[in-house]
């Protein structure tokens, strides 16, 4: 039997007990205060003054007790003055709120125990492929290497040659050069990372990367009076295409988890209704 089925059985048993049991026995705890027939017990002060000195903690407890007494006295006066119709309305609201809190607690405990929070790459890809049209947001994306380097920096000509090379050793030389001159350069050398086209274009002359350089492997190499600009595109997604999976996978993961959560809650409600119907717990008139 799954955990939520066990909870349903306990819930159903609780309904039957609630119908048969009388009021709970009074607590054996010594009261701290009384107003009318209402008592305040020490357990209600758990956590009051926590982390404070003994003197300050005792002061906080006294303030709490004084406030409780005043609230209870005002409540007694208010209840006597309250019209019967309003009293009934307030009781209905209180019962509804209590029921909502109880159900919310029950459901959250159920989710904490039953929900599988692992979303695999395969599951992400399956959802993405089935719902690609949802992720067309009018933004162009690309994977690229990008460098902006001062023209007069020593070794720039070597950097340009290494950047255009397809050799792995030259790619490493580019990375080392950039790291050695990090404070003077702007660069992005994460091949698998998607970035918005505009973010790259805004750092280039005329704030654009000509379309001919969006083809895989082509190297953009331009300079102005201050800088040399280098860009090599590995993959490009037009604004009319879905955003890359890597950029929306967190959102997809949340959607999948929400669907799983809803499935658990729908199932437990369905089983609760079936068991209640079998036990003749409810009727509709």
CATH number at residue 224: 3.10.50
Give dist(CA 246, CA 249) in Å, integer: 5
In a domain, 77, yes or no: no
Q: Is the pTM of this model over 0.85?
A: no
In a domain, 124, yes or no: no
Q: Which domain holds residue 214?
A: 137-237
What's the mean pLDDT in 233-242? 95
In a domain, 195, yes or no: yes
Q: What phi, psi does 202 have (nearest 5°)? A: -65, -15
In a domain, 281, yes or no: no
Burial 151-173 (b: 16+ CB within 10 A, else e): eeeeebeebbebbeeeeeebbeb
In a domain, 267, yes or no: no
In a domain, 232, yes or no: yes
pLDDT of residue 24: 43
Please count the structural domains in the chain: 1
Radius of gyration of the chain (CA): 34
What are the tens digits of pLDDT across the range 175-225? 999 999 999 999 999 999 999 999 999 999 999 999 999 998 899 999 999
Give dist(CA 127, CA 95) in Å, integer: 41
In a domain, 190, yes or no: yes
Give dist(CA 159, CA 168) in Å, integer: 14
pLDDT of residue 225: 93
pLDDT of residue 242: 96
Q: Which of 217, 244, 276 is nearest to 125 (CA)?
A: 244
Q: Which of 149, 161, 145, 163 is nearest to 233 (CA)?
A: 145
Beta carbons within 8 Å of 56's beta carbon, 6+ residues apart: 49
Give dist(CA 92, CA 84) in Å, integer: 12
In a domain, 171, yes or no: yes
What's the mean pLDDT in 142-156? 96
**How many other C-beta atoms lie within 10 A of the C-beta of residue 204?**
20
Residue 41 CA to chain centroid, in angstroms?
A: 38
Q: Does position 27 have pLDDT exceeding 80, yes or no?
A: no
């Amino acid at each position: 039997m799954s955990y939520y089925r066990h909870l349903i059985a306990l819930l159903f048993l609780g309904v039957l007990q609630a119908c048969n049991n009388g009021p709970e026995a009074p607590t054996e705890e010594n009261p701290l205060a009384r107003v009318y027939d209402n008592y305040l017990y020490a357990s209600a002060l758990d956590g009051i003054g926590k982390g404070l000195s003994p003197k300050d903690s005792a002061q906080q407890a006294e303030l709490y007790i004084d406030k409780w007494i005043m609230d209870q006295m005002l409540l007694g006066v208010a209840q006597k003055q309250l019209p019967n119709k309003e009293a009934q309305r307030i009781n209905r609201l209180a019962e509804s709120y209590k029921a909502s809190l109880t159900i919310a607690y029950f459901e959250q405990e159920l989710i904490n125990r039953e929900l599988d929070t692992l979303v695999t790459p395969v599951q992400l890809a399956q959802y993405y492929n089935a719902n690609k049209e949802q992720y067309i947001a009018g933004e162009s994306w690309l994977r690229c290497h990008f460098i902006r380097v001062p023209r007069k920096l020593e070794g720039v000509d070597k950097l340009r040659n290494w950047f255009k090379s397809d050799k792995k050793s030259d790619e490493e030389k580019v990375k080392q050069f950039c790291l050695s001159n990090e404070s003077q350069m702007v660069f992005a050398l994460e091949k698998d990372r998607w970035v918005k086209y505009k973010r790259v274009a805004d750092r280039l002359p005329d704030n654009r990367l000509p379309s001919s350089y969006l083809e895989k492997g082509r190297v953009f190499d331009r300079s102005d009076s201050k800088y040399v600009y280098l860009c090599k595109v590995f993959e490009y997604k037009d604004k009319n295409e879905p955003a890359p999976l890597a950029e929306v996978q967190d959102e997809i993961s949340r959607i999948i988890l929400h669907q799983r959560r809803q499935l658990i809650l729908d199932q437990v409600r369905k089983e609760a209704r079936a068991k209640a119907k079998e036990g003749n717990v409810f009727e509709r008139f």
